[in-house]
């Protein structure tokens, strides 16, 4: 009998990112389950990142969508979506490391 392997924290995080993307992708009848339309992107941002979106000036999310949409097709692929997640993770990491006191050796 094969031993059941429990997913690692990192594997669960990856599964979660995929699930969240798929939760919003393809909500519109005309859209593919493999991409986020502008409306779906806005729904994702407002529902999943409300503390970020509430503090933004009007038009910021539209500009973000345009910048993330590397092939300018009006849709975000999973790869383009990961650019957003990576950028947000980098910003959070930078903020976290600035807030930590420097350890003396």
Report pLDDT for 39: 92
How far apart (Å, rounded) are the C-alpha atoms in residues 30 and 3?
A: 43
pLDDT tens-digit readout, 31-79: 678 899 999 999 999 999 998 888 888 889 999 999 999 999 999 999 9
Q: How confident is the model at residue 29 (pLDDT cuts 50, 70, 90)?
A: low
Residue 44 · residue 78 · CB < 8 Å: no
Domain parsing of the chain, residue ranges: 21-97
Q: For residues 22 and 1, which has the higher predicted lDDT (pLDDT)?
A: 22
pLDDT tens-digit readout, 84-94: 999 999 988 89
Residue 25 · residue 36 · CB < 8 Å: yes
Q: Which listed CATH number (1.10.238.10, 3.60.20.30, 2.60.40.420, 1.10.490.10) goes with 21-97?
A: 1.10.238.10
pTM: 0.81
Q: For residues 18 and 52, which has the higher predicted lDDT (pLDDT)?
A: 18
């Amino acid at each position: 009998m094969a031993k059941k392997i429990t997913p690692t924290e990192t594997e669960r995080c990856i599964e979660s990112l995929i699930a969240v993307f798929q939760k919003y992708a393809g909500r519109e009848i005309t859209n593919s389950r493999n991409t986020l339309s502008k409306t779906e992107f806005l729904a994702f941002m407002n529902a999943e990142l409300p503390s970020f979106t509430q503090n933004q000036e009007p038009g910021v999310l539209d500009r973000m969508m345009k910048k993330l949409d590397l092939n300018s097709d009006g849709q975000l692929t999973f790869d383009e979506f990961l650019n957003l997640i990576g950028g947000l993770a980098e910003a959070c990491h930078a903020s976290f490391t600035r807030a930590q006191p420097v350890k003396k050796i």
